[in-house]
Amino acid sequence: MLSAVPMCSSDDLLSSRPAPLPRFRQLVTFALATIVALPALAVGSFLNVVASRVPLRRSISTGRSACMSCSHEIAAYDNIPLVSWVLLRSRCRHCAASIPWRYPLVELVTAVLVVASFLRFGPTLEALLASFFCVVLVAVSAIDIEHRIVPNRIVLPAAVICLVGQTALDPRPEWVLAALGASGFLLVAALVYPGGMGMGDVKLAFLLGAMLGWTATVALMIGFLAALLPAVMLWLRYGSKARKIAIPFAPFLALGAIVALFAGGTILDAYLGFFG
């Protein structure tokens, strides 16, 4: 079957470059994803410090970690991500106050998302920016769940970094337009239904648009749908009184953003294909 041999002119041979090395790239990606796992756990541990201190306007760079209950300084060997929580059986070594499961959870989720970013985007600057985006979302979610605020001090600088980063990596107006569109949409929602969300969520939507571009629509859609579930459950349980119970919205937006980051293109294509 000679016809199966591709025809190849001498021009093609001269201009042919070394074939890409997908297998090598896979290897590098996998190695990198493994290497970043431990620093990512450490970043998760740092996020716990951020989540405890930023809402209190305390410095995150000075002062050692201390038990929230007895103020005893936490020794380095009791401050190992995940491991210490398990070894100490989730209790302070000194006063036996329980250490909230938020701590190991933030560490684990951060590490998983950073590793996933490198597996998804390979050894690229996109992977680095995606990791940063995930780290910010984890911090903002942890703070919103515990303190019911979406801190400007985190969201605004992160939005600038993502907007500049995405525009530099892929110079298109998509990023700034999506940022304005997503935040505009939430601004309208916040004005129509003031109890539902705050200005913090509007700024968070700006960050989502800046990083996700058009797939921010997927993030918002999933975020709203996911937030509907606890809202309905509260309503079933408390009836009209449920209106007064505030649900932190940022974690749902963050969830939508994570799904959009890793699968937004696929979901958007499927959705447009279905209706288009």
Q: Which is nearer to Zn ion, 67 or 187 (CB)?
A: 67
In the beta sheet, which residues pair with residue 91?
98
Residue 95 lies near Zn ion (rule: CB under 5 A): yes
To which residue do tokens 């649900």 refer?
A: 247
Q: Looking at beta carbons only, is 30 or 77 nearer to Zn ion?
A: 77
Nearer to Zn ion, 67 or 226 (CB): 67
Q: Helices 125-147 and 102-121 meet at what angle, rounded to 10?
A: 160
Q: Which of residues 49 and 97 has its CB atom nearest to Zn ion in the complex? A: 97
Query: Of 221, 230, 185, 222, which is closest to residue 203 (Cα–Cα)?
Result: 185
Among 33, 36, 40, 92, which residue interacts with Zn ion (rule: CB under 5 A)? 92
70 touches Zn ion (CB under 5 A): yes
Residue 94 or 147: the one with the smaller Cβ distance to Zn ion is 94
From 92-100, 149-157, 166-174, 268-276, span contacting Zn ion (CB under 5 A): 92-100
Round to whole Å and give the CA distance between 161 and 167.
Answer: 10
**Among 34, 69, 98, 266, which residue sits at the site for Zn ion (rule: CB under 5 A)?**
69
Work out how close the CB of 57 gets to Zn ion at its nearest, in angstroms, rounded to a whole number: 23
Residue 218, C-beta contacts closer than 8 angstroms, at least 6 positions apart: 212, 256, 259, 260, 264, 267, 268, 271
Among 28, 67, 176, 177, binds Zn ion (CB under 5 A): 67
Separation between Cα atoms, residue 99 and residue 92, nearest integer Å = 7
Min dist CB 56 to Zn ion, Å, is 18
Computed from CA positions of residues 49, 54, 60, 66, in that sequence, does the dihedral angle turn out positive or negative? negative
Does residue 68 interact with Zn ion by CB under 5 A? Answer: no
Which residues of the chain form contacts with Zn ion (CB under 5 A)?
Answer: 67, 69-70, 92, 94-95, 97
